[in-house]
Chains A and B, each alone.
Chain A
């Protein structure tokens, strides 16, 4: 039996009739952390949303397998309950729904019919995870993302990930909008979730994040494809020399 992984196979996808992903292949074995770097507009968020099942995009060919099972035909909520998590680049505000109730509904949806969350255990667990992310407890009664600063939104995403314990997580620009202190806190939160039972795909266009969340592999994305893969020091080279050389090499090849 092959190692469990999240694998993307020659994926082509478009929005309307505009092709955005043009044959993207990538495998994230469970237990590893991979990073995707790429310029704005290269299709990183599109990839993340397609994996999560966003209805605006059409997959024209290729596949996405979660531990060998194709997820493309599944509804977004089914994929999530199967263990896929997306930390959004732009998390939505949901007026009037508290964080506590939101996460609770998400956990509840993973239980069999008729079984209920134990409220005391739930809050104990929630508070523990919030402490880890240096979040004030008053957050639990605030509406999801409403009026949050950029950094608070990103922390809230990682809090949800910590509570839902996915087997694969895609983190889309989790570093954007964070100052250095917040970046350290969020990274520490992510690192504490690393381990043999989770595969992570960290999307960023700054090398900075990868100083704190050190990846096992780095992939460069451009115009809807992975054009180069390498070890973690590839990130440093991209930071120093930019992306142009990668694109030139890719075109030459």
Chain B
């Protein structure tokens, strides 16, 4: 699967393929693309999935969440898409990337990787498992999911068929971003996007995951992204989520940062009906840094439910979380974040800030910041604010001739722009800014 285009089955077969395998029905067999040991792990994961009870209202990690969204019984396993070429054409992303992978309904449909320095691995997961077993096993879902979705992570582990594996060896710097597309197509179809990134000491990369629905259909995505950073390495990871408005999606992240490494991760949530995000940062090495960002324009009846953990194990590490939610219509957001400073993690700097811009009387923002400190001499701040559009800012814009709707959108754009600035990467800022402009219907 290393050629520039891959396609396993002729499309006439694909059109006739049934899509009636329920996502909750017991897996019959596992793909022969995977080694035997991996398939055994899938069986175990299925048992785990079944053993863990469905979340209840009284479970702390599910407080305020709409539990009805967690009934997955109507969803079916995705079958190969009807028209791969059409999706490839629609995967128009950043103009200048080092590599691009396109997945659609659990299959890699295109791989372009001509811009990668030698030594860098960018492979479908099943190939990494086969050809780089030790490296794969050391990193693949190796850290337990702790923020509530253990059950759904097990389902992901049991059901996934492919995904992206990026390994950047020691000292290698990839200047241009790597873009990975994840398409879902089909009414009630389910996909399990997976992005596993391992940077060795001193390596540097930026990766953009694009999550997209082919049509305005109901679908389920259970996505995992695991980021492992070696000493002094630098990773920028962005998830641009544009699922259809009828999609239920889980985006589960674990980030582990070694000494002096810097992870900067941004989630932009534009679509979906219920979006559950879990971001779990482990500051493992002295001087490590994790910047956790999120941009959430919530509208219609969307619910964006985000749980975060900034877990400091080493001294003099920094974690810096900034989430901006703009809520219109009858949307809801939930934020629950914990900063934990473990014993011995002295001189920790940990920040957590959630800002809710409430644009509608029917919208509802819930914020639950938390703090637990077991070390000395630490600096931790956390806070959540909620406010409406500033009338004076609005008037200032109107006084320049900008119509009220456009003025409000510009203020929202600015509100999100201040999060984009935190990427400290002008090129990404501009390109992601252009996506924001498009999504907010701004002509500027």
Which residues of A does B touch, CB under 8 Å? 52-55, 75-77, 80-81, 85-86, 88, 91-98, 101-106, 108-110, 116, 143, 160, 164
15 A-B pairs in the complex with CB atoms less than 8 angstroms apart: A53-B399, A88-B396, A92-B393, A94-B397, A94-B411, A95-B414, A95-B418, A97-B414, A101-B410, A102-B397, A104-B444, A105-B397, A106-B402, A109-B400, A164-B401
Which residues of B are found within 8 Å of A164, using beta-carbon distances? 400-401
- Assuming the contacts A81-B401, A96-B421, asked whether A54 and B395 have C-beta atoms less than 8 A apart, the reply is yes
**B392 touching A92, Cβ below 8 Å:** yes
**A109 touching B391, Cβ below 8 Å:** no
- Assuming the contacts A92-B392, A105-B410, asked whether A80 and B415 have C-beta atoms less than 8 A apart, the reply is no
Other-chain contact of B402, A85, A98, A105, A116 (Cβ < 8 Å): A105
**B406 touching A109, Cβ below 8 Å:** yes
Other-chain contact of B414, A53, A104, A108, A143 (Cβ < 8 Å): A143
Which residues of B are found within 8 Å of A116, using beta-carbon distances? 443
- Assuming the contacts A55-B391, A101-B410, A116-B443, asked whether A76 and B399 have C-beta atoms less than 8 A apart, the reply is yes
Other-chain contact of B415, A91, A95, A103 (Cβ < 8 Å): A95
A53 to B410, CA, bound (A): 20
Extra A-B contacts (17), CB below 8 Å, given A105-B400, A164-B400: A52-B399, A53-B399, A75-B404, A76-B399, A77-B398, A77-B407, A80-B400, A92-B390, A93-B393, A94-B411, A95-B414, A97-B414, A101-B444, A104-B444, A105-B410, A106-B397, A109-B403
**A94 touching B414, Cβ below 8 Å:** yes
Other-chain contact of B396, A92, A96, A101, A109 (Cβ < 8 Å): A92
Which residues of A are found within 8 Å of B407, using beta-carbon distances? 77
Of the candidates B391, B395, B421, B444, the one having the most CB atoms from chain A within 10 angstroms of its own CB is B444
Which residues of A are found within 8 Å of B406, using beta-carbon distances? 105, 109
B416 within 8 Å of A (CB atoms): yes
Chain B proximity of A67: nearest CB distance (Å): 17
A55 to B389, CA, bound (A): 15
B239 within 8 Å of A (CB atoms): no
- Assuming the contacts A95-B414, A97-B411, A143-B414, asked whether A80 and B398 have C-beta atoms less than 8 A apart, the reply is yes
A68 to B400, CA, bound (A): 21
Which residues of A are found within 8 Å of B402, using beta-carbon distances? 77, 105-106, 109
**B401 touching A96, Cβ below 8 Å:** no
B40-74 interface mask toward A, CB cutoff 8 Å, 1 = contact, 0 = none? 00000000000000000000000000000000000
Which residues of B are found within 8 Å of A85, using beta-carbon distances? 399
Other-chain contact of A102, B398, B400, B443 (Cβ < 8 Å): B400
**A77 touching B410, Cβ below 8 Å:** no
Other-chain contact of B401, A91, A97, A101, A106 (Cβ < 8 Å): A106
Which residues of B are found within 8 Å of A160, using beta-carbon distances? 400
**B421 touching A53, Cβ below 8 Å:** no
Question: Interface size bucket, B side?
Answer: 20 to 34
Chain B proximity of A45: nearest CB distance (Å): 13
**A77 touching B404, Cβ below 8 Å:** yes
A97 to B404, CA, bound (A): 16
A81 to B411, CA, bound (A): 20
Tell me the nearest residue of chain A to B324, going by C-beta.
Answer: A96
**A55 touching B395, Cβ below 8 Å:** yes
Consensus secondary structure, chain B interface? helix
**A75 touching B398, Cβ below 8 Å:** yes
Chain A proximity of B412: nearest CB distance (Å): 9
Of the candidates B404, B406, B410, B420, the one having the most CB atoms from chain A within 10 angstroms of its own CB is B410
Which residues of B are found within 8 Å of A101, using beta-carbon distances? 410, 413, 444
B417 within 8 Å of A (CB atoms): yes
**B443 touching A76, Cβ below 8 Å:** no
Which residues of A are found within 8 Å of B401, using beta-carbon distances? 77, 80-81, 106, 109-110, 164
Tell me the nearest residue of chain B to A97, going by C-beta.
Answer: B414
Chain B proximity of A48: nearest CB distance (Å): 10
Chain B proximity of A162: nearest CB distance (Å): 13
**A94 touching B393, Cβ below 8 Å:** yes
Of the candidates A52, A54, A105, A110, the one having the most CB atoms from chain B within 10 angstroms of its own CB is A105
**A105 touching B444, Cβ below 8 Å:** yes
Chain A proximity of B402: nearest CB distance (Å): 5
Of the candidates B390, B398, B413, the one having the most CB atoms from chain A within 10 angstroms of its own CB is B398
Chain B proximity of A6: nearest CB distance (Å): 15
A72 to B399, CA, bound (A): 14
A85 to B399, CA, bound (A): 7
A110 to B402, CA, bound (A): 8
Nearest 6 Cβ contacts at the A-B interface: A96-B414, A96-B417, A80-B401, A97-B414, A76-B398, A92-B396
Chain B proximity of A2: nearest CB distance (Å): 26
Which residues of A are found within 8 Å of B410, using beta-carbon distances? 94, 97, 101-102, 105
Which residues of A are found within 8 Å of B400, using beta-carbon distances? 77, 80, 102-103, 105-106, 109, 160, 164
A113 to B416, CA, bound (A): 26
A143 to B443, CA, bound (A): 18
A103 to B400, CA, bound (A): 8
Tell me the nearest residue of chain B to A83, going by C-beta.
Answer: B401
Which residues of B are found within 8 Å of A108, using beta-carbon distances? 443-444
Other-chain contact of B398, A53, A96, A97, A98 (Cβ < 8 Å): A53
A101 to B246, CA, bound (A): 33
**A86 touching B399, Cβ below 8 Å:** yes
Chain B proximity of A156: nearest CB distance (Å): 11
- Which residues of chain B in 64-102 are interfacial with respect to chain A, using CB atoms and an 8 Å cutoff? none
Which residues of B are found within 8 Å of A55, using beta-carbon distances? 391, 395
Of the candidates B410, B414, B442, the one having the most CB atoms from chain A within 10 angstroms of its own CB is B414
B193-232 interface mask toward A, CB cutoff 8 Å, 1 = contact, 0 = none? 0000000000000000000000000000000000000000
